[in-house]
Chain A
Amino acid sequence: MDLLSRKATCNSHGQDSSYFLGWEEYEKNPYDVLKNPHGIIQMGLAENQLCFDLLESWLVQNPDAASFKRDGQSIFRELALFQDYHGLSSFKNALANFMSENRQNRVFFDSNNLVLTAGATSANETLMFCLANPGDAFLLPTPYYPGFDRDLKWRTGVEIVPIQCLSSNGFRITKHALEEAYEQAKKLNLNVKGVLITNPSNPLGTTTTQTELNILFEFISKNKNIHLVSDEIYSGTAFSSSEFISVMEILKNNQLENTDVFNRVHIVYSLSKDLGLPGFRVGAIYSNDKDVISAATKMSSFGLVSSQTQYLLSSLLSDKEFTKTYLRENQSRLKYRQRMLVTGLEAIGIGCLKSNAGLFCWVDMRHLLSSKTFEAEMDLWKKIVYEVKLNISPGSACHCEEPGWFRVCFANMSEETLKLALKRLKKFVDNGALTCSRKKTMTTISNWVFRLSFHDRDAEER
């Protein structure tokens, strides 16, 4: 008899073996400026390490927030006991305001429509449990964050059907691709419950355009059973706030408040990228549908945010001086860092998708492939990991339709390290070493790709 569930024994937690491999290699040989200057530089981690100084000086100036004090009085007991799944209201208010601020107050978020969860990972899974039954499908534009295969499908039994986006138009969602995906789902006998987009996009680093949003809204207006989930986890990383258009704005500008569409649009947020706090596990679901809010609130019991953390962050985000400065600084430092990566790549003859957000660039290395295949992409990737000693994410891990694209992160290291990474890459490209394909790596591909990934490894970073 099977002692464990299929969920536990199968590989459908979706942890892609090749993606895992780069991680493992990095862990074995991590770059350190002093201790291991020839180690692998981690460029597969979408972390925002650019503004910790701002956070740390705020903490120094406001010691009460981390010490369980309010106006000098201890509130430890109150916080220790606080497990209300409605969340700390001061925190939800501050978070709702922060989300509005991220959108230049063009829209307003009501904290009553917010559900707190342990990270966006938890928020996305919870939304799937609320909106879909096992066997239902969500349409996702490719390329998408590899973690979605686990977060949206694993325990929920929901399926993902890709909306195929191509480089020919900058990977934009087209009406045609959307409808094709819908038809494909029907062919597979899957009931489509919604569309999920990440805006700004991971791994593209681009904000969803007005045109794309129009296409999506037209689609869900026409198909009244379909939800739209917009994961706006990177909203604060848009280099210019005016270029980021949230689905909330479409609802407002198109005056959809009294239509049924209003209840079928949901937003996911988190402080892991904008504030660089993935360790604190702070995510949120925002919805205008009372039933979704009610159910998601109860489900959040399975992943509440620590009250200690809620309190710290309610203080931080209630400080408007701080949030204003932070958002502005964050944007400008990210923009600067992205420029550094882009120009560095250009100097090597490598282009990337023109991006205006995110913590990474979507890099075009198609010209370095030995053949226009995913096998060649894997070959190239292995060379970059083992010989150039850079861990970057291959497009295939993100379900990209075209081989040769890679996601390269720029905000999780110092300027010097980024410069070194570019230097290494330049050296190899100049030497032509990247363009020769090596057969010796072929047998190892099979082993690695089909190896049961039960080895422990760090959690997937987006």
Chain B
Amino acid sequence: MKQLSTKVTSNAHGQDSSYFLGWEEYEKNPYDEIKNPNGIIQMGLAENQLCFDLIETWLAKNPDAAGLKKDGQSIFKELALFQDYHGLPEFKKALAEFMEEIRGSRVTFDPHKIVLAAGSTSANETLMFCLAEPGDAFLLPTPYYPGFDRDLKWRTGAEIVPIHCSSSNGFQITESALQQAYQQAQKLDLKVKGILVTNPSNPLGTMLTRRELNLLVDFITSKNIHLISDEIYSGTVFGFEQFVSVMDVLKDKKLEDTEVSKRVHVVYSLSKDLGLPGFRVGAIYSNDEMVVSAATKMSSFGLVSSQTQYLLSALLSDKKFTGTYLNENKKRLKIRQKQLVSGLEAAGVTSLKSNAGLFCWVDLRHLLDTNTFEAELELWKKIVYEVKLNISPGSSCHCTEPGWFRVCFANMSEETLDLAMKRLKEYVESTDSRRLISKSSHERIKSLRKRTVSNWVFRVSWTDRVPDER
């Protein structure tokens, strides 16, 4: 008899089998410019590798920060012993100011309302534990980050009910979609505790419009529920428009210090903006004292290493650095996104117009054999195995329309991105000519793939693999 918990024996950690497959294939055959030039290029990893030089330069100029020293004196002992779940005050202050800087100093963040967590993975789960009972639901616009299935639901017992967004209006959240989701939850007998949005969006790469934000704030006001805004990508906005945070909206609607503002919470992390996912730095920001208090105690289960807090408090306190960094980061992301978009265009492929993020939401609907998710999976396998690009299929992000894929652009060199685009162009051109081949051979290939699709999709994913990258 299995004596482990149902959390372990069920598959509710939500690690989607197909998503896992692309990873596995990449691990077996990873592209390397010199050692494996025909390998699979990783485009499923939302990492920001564009600005490490800036951080490394700063580290070289400020050796004390990593060297556990302050003004030349060792503070090793002090840091080694520091496990206060309120966090290093200098770090929270610097983080609050950094968050303000990202929002053009239009809103203020009080360091006392920040709760540190080991990454936003931990922050999101903790917020669920604080806001929802097992069986309660949160509404999430689709498509959304696949990791949410695990982060928000697995150990908390919370449910996700999707707010269906469609390509017809650029995947924006509409009032009717919101109402429909709410009613759907009620039909399923689930108590809706709140809405969670990622802004800027993963996987769309777009910022929520003011209209959408107003809609959301109005909705939570009328339903008396929470709004969590995961703003992990706030520092990756490269478009002309400014990033509008939910905090901006609260201010503009004069809702600061009202009861509604207590139900709006922001999640942040340094994994995307600063490209430091390994350091596990996340944060919850809330105007509700009780949430801050409970989340602070819960952060005991995932505190940030004091060694890391100290390093980053020094880095983020350097305003010259942060100003330069945020500007450069924007610039480089913009150039890189342009490179991807034009590369795709050259292959006759379009993507959702984006102005943020580390990826594009790419439209490959015209390459599907049929307008089905099965066809999407087949296309995806071709792209992984034949084009040798690991990209993320929309179905893993719960997209309601087949044929969309998330393609990352900031986790590789320019040359590699070029190569990826070349491979894609070649594939598209050859596919166009292949469509003229006899139908029967096509059917044969299709049915062969069909069998293997079932195996892969239903295989219990107990094999180890690397964690979901956003």
Binding site for B on A (CB under 8 A): 1, 3-9, 13, 15, 47, 49, 52, 55-56, 59, 63, 66-68, 74, 76-77, 79-86, 118-119, 121-122, 125, 129-134, 136, 150-151, 154-155, 193, 224-227, 264, 272, 276-281, 289, 291-292, 294-295, 297-299, 301-309, 312, 454, 456, 458-461
22 contacts between A and B (CB under 8 A): A7-B130, A13-B294, A15-B297, A55-B80, A56-B77, A59-B76, A77-B56, A80-B52, A80-B275, A80-B279, A118-B302, A130-B4, A132-B5, A155-B129, A226-B3, A279-B305, A281-B304, A302-B151, A307-B280, A308-B305, A454-B290, A461-B83
Residues A81 and B76 in contact, CB atoms below 8 Å apart? no
Q: Are B306 and A279 in contact (CB under 8 A)?
A: yes
Kindly state the separation between the CA atoms of A125 and B298 in the bound complex, as whole angstroms.
Answer: 11
Please determine whether A5 and B80 come into contact, CB atoms closer than 8 angstroms: no
- A264-B3 CB under 8 A given contacts A76-B52, A312-B307: yes
**Smallest CB-CB separation from B263: which chain A residue?**
A3
Return B51 CB to nearest CB of chain A, in Å. Answer: 11
B1-27 interface with A by 8 A CB criterion: 1-9, 13, 15
B55 in contact with A76 (CB, 8 Å): yes
Decide yes or no whether B303 CB sits under 8 A from chain A: yes
Evaluate whether A4 and B80 lie within 8 angstroms (CB atoms) in the complex, with A13-B297, A63-B67 already known: no
Within 8 A of A (CB), among B45-90: 47, 49, 52, 55-56, 59, 63, 66-68, 74, 76-77, 79-86
Q: Tell which of B82, B121, B151, B293 touches A279, judged by Cβ atoms closer than 8 Å.
A: B82
- Given A7-B130, A82-B278, A294-B464, are A130 and B7 also a contact pair (CB < 8 Å)? yes
- Sorted nearest first, the 6 A-B pairs with minimum C-beta distance are A307-B278, A279-B306, A303-B302, A8-B294, A306-B305, A295-B8
Could you say which of A82, A125, A130 contacts B5, with CB atoms under 8 Å apart?
A130
A74: chain B residues within 8 A (beta carbon): 56
Minimum CB distance partner of A459 in chain B: B85
CA distance A280 to B310 in the complex (A): 11
B298 and A155: CB pair below 8 A? Answer: yes
Given A278-B81, A302-B302, is A55 in contact with B4 using a C-beta cutoff of 8 Å? Answer: no
Q: With a CB–CB cut-off of 8 A, which chain A residues contact B56?
A: 74, 76-77
Provide the residues of chain B in CB contact with A150, threshold 8 Å.
297, 300
A3 x B226 contact (CB < 8 A):
yes
- Residues on B lying within 8 angstroms of A by beta carbon are 1-9, 13, 15, 47, 49, 52, 55-56, 59, 63, 66-68, 74, 76-77, 79-86, 118-119, 121-122, 125, 129-134, 136, 150-151, 154-155, 224, 226, 263, 271, 275-280, 288, 290-291, 293-298, 300-308, 311, 462, 464, 466-467, 469
Contact check, B118 vs A6: say whether CB atoms are below 8 A apart.
Answer: no
With CB as the reference atom, state the residue of chain A lying closest to B86: A456
Of A83, A302, A309, most buried by chain B (CB within 10 Å of CB) is A302
A459 to B82 alpha-carbon distance, docked (Å): 10
Q: Is the CB of B129 within 8 A of A129?
A: no
Q: Can you name 18 extra interface pairs (CB under 8 A) apart from A295-B7, A299-B154, A312-B307?
A: A3-B131, A4-B290, A8-B290, A59-B76, A66-B66, A76-B55, A130-B4, A133-B5, A155-B155, A278-B80, A279-B83, A294-B464, A301-B150, A306-B280, A308-B305, A309-B305, A456-B296, A460-B300
Contact A83 B81 (CB under 8 A): no
Check B300–A227 contact: CB distance below 8 A.
no
CB-CB under 8 A from A458, the residues of chain B are 84-86
- Chain A residue with the shortest CB-CB distance to B53: A77
Please measure, in the bound complex, the distance between the C-alpha atom of A130 and the C-alpha atom of B4, giving whole angstroms: 6
> Are B80's CB and A303's CB within 8 A?
no
Q: Are A8 and B303 neighbours in the complex by a CB distance under 8 Å?
A: no
Q: Is the CB of B278 within 8 A of A67?
A: no
Q: Is the CB of A5 within 8 A of B63?
A: no
Q: Which of the residues A130, A224, A227, A281 comes within 8 Å of B83, measured between beta carbons?
A: A281
Q: Which residues of B sit under 8 angstroms from A66, Cβ to Cβ?
A: 66-68, 307
| Residue pair B297, A121 in contact (C-beta under 8 Å) | no
Among candidates A6, A84, A227, residue contacting B466 with C-beta atoms closer than 8 Å: A84
Please give, as numbers and ranges, the residues of chain B lying within 8 Å of A81 by CB-CB distance: 47, 49, 275, 277-278
User: In the complex, are the beta carbons of B300 and A306 less than 8 A apart?
Assistant: no
- Checking A264, A292, A306 against B304 with a beta-carbon cut-off of 8 angstroms, the contacting residue is A306
- Whether B279 contacts A133 by the Cβ 8 Å rule is no
Cβ-defined contact, A4 with B122, below 8 A: no
B296 — nearest CB in chain A belongs to which residue?
A456
A203 to B411, CA, bound (A): 49
Residues on the B chain within 8 Å of A307, using CB: 278-280
Question: Is B275 a contact of A4 with CB atoms below 8 Å?
Answer: no
Complex interface: chain B residues within 8 A of A52 (CB): 76-77, 80
Report the nearest B residue to A306, measured CB to CB: B305
CA distance A226 to B4 in the complex (A): 10
CA distance in complex: A317, B287 (Å) = 43
Q: A82-B278, A294-B464 are in contact. Are A279 and B80 (CB under 8 A)?
A: yes
The residue in chain B whose Cβ has the minimal distance to the Cβ of A1 is B224
Partner of A84, one of B68, B151, B307, B467: B467
Contact between B290 and A276 (Cβ–Cβ < 8 Å)?
no
CB of A301 within 8 A of CB of B467, answer yes
Contact A280 B306 (CB under 8 A): yes
- Compute how far the CA of A56 lies from the CA of B68 in the bound complex, rounded to whole angstroms: 10
Distance from B224 Cβ to chain A, minimum over Cβ atoms (Å): 6
Q: Which residues of A contact B130 (CB under 8 A)?
A: 4-5, 7-8
Given contacts A7-B130, A7-B294, A292-B8, contact A280 B150 (CB under 8 A): no
CA distance A454 to B52 in the complex (A): 41
Residue of B49, B293, B297 most packed against chain A (CB within 10 A): B297
Chain B residue contacts of A151, Cβ below 8 A: 300-301
A67-B63, A68-B59, A308-B308 in contact; A5/B464 too (CB < 8 A)? no
Does A55 contact B63, Cβ atoms closer than 8 Å?
no
- In the complex, A304→B269 CA distance in Å? 14
State whether A4 and B308 are in contact (beta carbons under 8 Å apart), knowing that A67-B63, A130-B7 are contacts in the complex.
no
